[in-house]
Each structure stands twice: as C-alpha cells, then as structure tokens.
Chain A
C-alpha cells in the first residue's frame, strides 16, 4: 500500500512538476510560481494522455498495455526535458524561482491568521473528500470502465453495467478520463475505485484552489493581503454550493473524480485564469505570454478528455471571450489567436463526426 501511495505521489505530484517546467520556461518571472508550474504540468500530463490514448482506443481497443508503455515513456522523456531546461536556465540566469517568494513588505498578524484559516478550510475539504462517500449513479459507468480496463486490458469494449461485450462506445471513448484512472491504477497497483473515490479528491481539490490562487494573485495585485480572504470566500462558496444537483460546486465536491466535475471546475476556471493572464496589461506585448497560450491549448485537450460535451462548451466560452476582446481591442487577430487554441477541440469534433 505504501509503495502504491508513493507511486501515485510520483505520478500526480512529482512528474507534473517536472513536466510543468517546460511551459513554465516560457512564463516570465515573477509570474512563474510553483503553483503555475504545477498547474501547467498537471494539465500537460493529462493532455498528453488524451493525445496518446485516443488513437489507440480507435485502432487497438484491446491493447491498453500499449497506452501504458507509450505514455510512461512520454512522461519520462518530458520530465527529463523539463529538468534539463530548468538546470540550463539556472546556470544562465540564476534561480528565478526564488524571486517569486521574496517578501518585500511587512506581513500583518491579521494576514497570517487569514492565511492559516484559508489553508485550514482547504485542508478540511481534502480530509472530507477522503473520509466521506458520495453516492452517484454515474460511477456505475465511469469507475467500472476504469476497473474493466485494468482487469481485461480492453478499452470501451465491455458494457460496464452488466459485463456484456459491446461495440466501441465512441461517445464516451473520446473522453479518456476513465482510462487515465486505469493508468494510475496499473502503475500504482491500487484499485481504480479507491483511486477515484479516495485519492483523486486529495489531489484535485488543491489543484482547483491553486488556480483560484492564481486568479486572486492577478485580481488583488494592488492589495495582495486580500488574497487569503478571497480563498476563504471561495472555499465557503464551494462547501455551501450544494444548492442543487446541477451546480459545478456540487459536481466538484460530490463527484470530484469524474470528467464532468473536472471540466466544470478545473478546465473552465483554468480557461478564465489563462485569458486573464493573456490579456493582463502587464503581460501585453510580451513574448513570455507564449507559456499561457500553450497551456490554454493544452487545457482544451484536457477538456476534451473530460467530456465530449466540452467540445461545444469550451469552444463557446473561448468564442465569446474572443468576440468581446476583439470588439474591445478592435483587432481581429485576437479572435484568430484564440481560435488556434481551439484546434484540438475541432479535431476531436471531426473524429466524433467521421468515425
């Protein structure tokens, strides 16, 4: 069990940090913080899985082991590239990461208390994700699909509800989130149901708050002391957001491990954060925005991995942002650049319509 947990930490914490050093290389310090690296890395790792898995699902649905081998090699190679980039940059420019955490102001007692409270309420949510169980009927599909893949090495070829064989279920097959859970299970040796229900919440909840932290850093740059208060309010809105079964907060807190919850919370929020960064006045005209553009494209791939409906949803969101910013800046290139980030969504829509 300890080895399984260590392997999960390697896959869900260490490797994303290494891979995140690649897009992080293209993000200007001081924006390049540890959460930025981790968010970019985590999203990149998931997107890579989608890119590796979909072609195998479509051509060799009975060879999940092939996905495991290819994806593991890709992760290892990109981790090495990320570490190399960081080492080279450190030699050339010194430690740029240390700058981010330099405190050039006096921190008040109140602020320290607020930070402790903010971290505490997030930690409580992680603990609750681990110690509570939430009934959700959709698990009879998604979680069982992961388990079937681990046990039979096939992908989307067996009906999860009963165990009967079936033809390739394309609507679900293009969204490979259950296969990603199967991969984590295959490498760590932990049961996919335990990974889904007990482990993923502990990782995805902090990831969500890291993205809110990034948004808060931008919004409160003139008075950064409000950042912990902002995170406390976000936490309250999530914990008390169960006003109906439909809200993104309810999805996040009760079915964290499902693609729909990751789409509704992490992907859509990441898009908002990235467009805030891209159009931020301090970043205007700077070459180092490329890291955000790449991450936005990567986020679109992750959205497709989470749910086929994301093709429309994320496309619509980016389309509206593009239209509003084009009118605002009176520059059609804004919309065209944003359209380029949607190319992965168009490709998956094309596959869905053609196959």
Chain B
C-alpha cells in the first residue's frame, strides 16, 4: 500500500507573477497565524493544568472564621498548665482521656470505646462485665480486637468532642492574601443577616488556616470538617498499593516474559496479545463491577477473611482491602504487561543468542541475561502503572470502599477507605469546608503520585547505570 496521491489542483492555468506575489503575502500571513494558533492551543493545555493546580492550592489554605465551644487555652489552664507555653496537643494521653471522661456523655463514650478502646488493660466508659458480654456476642464491635487508640487519635477526639471548633465561613487563599478585610466584612454581614443564629458575633474569631497540614495527615476521618484528617485514607491507599503490586507485578511480568521470550506466533498466543490490548482499553468502572461480582460476592469467604479464622470473621462481608487490592491488580495488569513487554523487546537479540549459544537453557538466559538488562524499563513501567491505580476511584466505589471509617485498617481483611474515595466524598458535600478538605486531600494524593514517579525515575537511573 502506498500513500494516496493528494487531489490534483483544479486550477487550469498557473497564476501570473503578480497574482503569485499577491498570494505569497497572504499565504505567509496564514502560515504565521496557523503557527500561533497551534501555540495558543498548546498554551491552553498548560493553562488548564495551571488552573487546576491553582484551584487545589487556593482551596487548601486561607482565612477561616471559627467559633470554639470551649477555648482550648482555658482547657489547658484548667488542667494546671500555663496556656502561654503549653498547647492542648502537648498534654499527656491520660489527661486527654480524662478530658473526654469529664466532657463526653457516657453513651457517646461507650460508643467511642466500642469503636476502639483507650487502654489495653482497662476500660474507661464500659464496665468489665458488659464488655466481656458484647465481645463474646455474635457481632463484636471493632474495639474488641483492634489495638488501643494512640495520642493523635485521642487528641482528635478531644478537639472534636471537647473544644468543638466550628468553622462558620472560609475564604480561599488568593482573596485572603489580597483582600483580607473583605472576609471580615462578609462574616460580619453574615451575622447581621442572621446566617449564624447559634453564635454571637463576639465569639467568632478569624484566623489563618492551612487545611493541608501535618495534623491533617495524621488524624483519622471525622464528620466535623475542622478536625477531620486523612490518616485512615492514607493507610488504606498504602495497603491497596501493596496488594496491587504483589498481585500485578509477578503475574504481569510473567505474562510479558511468556509473550516476548517463549510464545511462538500461534493463534492462541496472538489471541492472548490482542486480548491484553483490549483489556487495557476497558473502562476502570467495569473492573470495579468484576471485582464486586467476583471478589466481593463469590469469593466472600476469602475476602472477608472468614476461611482464615475459626470464629468470627474479621469483616462481615467481602468489601475489604484485599478485594479492592485485587480489583486494582486486575486493572493494572494489562498496563504492566504491555510496558514490561516493551522493556523486554528493547533487549537486543544478540544477548539471547549469546546465552543460548553458550548452552544456557531459555529460562537461564532470561533470568541472568535478559531480565537484568530490561529491569529499569520494567520497573519504571510498573511503578507508573501502579501510580495510575492509586488514583483510581470508580473501581473502589464499586467494590464498596466505605466513605466513613475512623479506625485504622488492621490488615488485608479489614474495611477501608482510600484517598480518592475521601476526595470524592468530600467533594460531593455542599459545604465549603468539605471542599477545603477535598482540596487538601488532593494535594496529598498528588504528592503521593509525585513520590511514586520520582521513585520510578531514580530506580531507572540507578539500574540503567549498573546495566551498562
């Protein structure tokens, strides 16, 4: 097949020199205009990226108007510390638990303890007899098996239940910097218009708030936006990455080695190759459905952990980390296979011939000649594929990632939430504070992806130097 000839010009006579000169200027102007049009389109793409990053950062920092039900300085002073030198966060674990005991109703306290207990050896809100009874019942709460809470967890509870800060209004970063007075006026106008009927104007104070901050990363999820964090989501995403890698990398690289090094061009092997290309184009939400039908439903005894324990399963259904991890693994598999295939194909044939000529078997050649050379390419492709899986949301929604979980995942068979799910959930709430949280969580997710990409680049550079 050859390139089809372009249509012949219909013009019958050539232009005269004058006509030609006149056209030339027009043609050149058109050419310049086209060049700038292309550049402008490319600039739009850059602007889109810049605007996206701007939106996220703009919503992650800024002024907020807060009303505290209990002033943290006063709480610290009541504990006998000097509020000027000691922050609420600095007081001991026992004192924080004491604050909760003093301020929280016994019903709420019991519920908190059932979620996760405060001490390994003693109970704070429950009495021992009831505790033993509910723990030996058919459906024991998570507090019976989970490890006790730690300092940051209890501090978050104290913030949420004792101090009870309420962000009544928030302002994005750039207007906060350029025109902070406008925000004060807006809050004052809000009070006058009766938008905050529960509070007096004197109670509210305006302060800077970085929604993306170290505490945000280390505190668990909460329904109060002021104290909500993404610790559980980060841990959930980390577990997912581990399971995805454990499943997709060995299988994916294995399949790639088979297709590049072993497979003869039979019909079956051609079919496998076409099939993998097709799978790479299947929308992620369909993998989610597959995961829901197979891992969550059919394999429930495995994914809920029931077959590994005699008594009560770790989870009451299959909507667990391992089900989601395997789903993401299936989703990543075709991409890992294709990128590993490319890395293997790039290895020169002379290495294969040399190995085989020396009497090595095919596997010996692959293991000691080909894989070491292809490794940088394989690693880079794999990490990029995994990075894509970390950001996937739709399959996680399908396999039932819970949106509200305050306890850390305890293992592959526990319920979980993940960073993209948090962002999705917070974005779908109407209040501005939750959008601030979603923006801050987006920063965390993008940083995680950036780290994975940086690791890919570093590994590639390191191994490619060694292979030379």
A binds B: no
